[in-house]
Amino acid sequence: MTTATPSKHKAAGSRVSAAKSRTLKPATYLTESEKQMMDDLERAITKVTSSKEAATAFLKRAGIMDRTGNLAKIYRNA
């Protein structure tokens, strides 16, 4: 008796490109306010990643980069 086993190679052909995986797709069971929140988040991500300057400004505001543009001390290797 033989049993069917899933192919190990099947997943490799179904990879989603990096650009497509970023797009947030709300599920059908989300409430209207949750859908609105997802739309707001998508707009914020688009705005922050729109340019190097916008990304740098965001990272500085978040405390990930210091004022000079270097990685904040807490995130550096020992």
Per the structure, the complete domain to which residue 46 belongs is given by 30-78
36 falls within a domain: yes
**Contact assessment for residue 24 and residue 42, using Cβ atoms and an 8 Å cutoff:** yes
64 falls within a domain: yes
8 falls within a domain: no
**Contact assessment for residue 35 and residue 43, using Cβ atoms and an 8 Å cutoff:** no
Structural domain total, the chain: 1
Q: What is the pLDDT of residues 5-61, one digit of tens each?
A: 555 544 544 455 555 556 666 567 888 899 999 999 999 999 999 999 999 999 999
Q: What is the pLDDT of residues 45-67, one digit of tens each?
A: 999 999 999 999 999 999 999 99
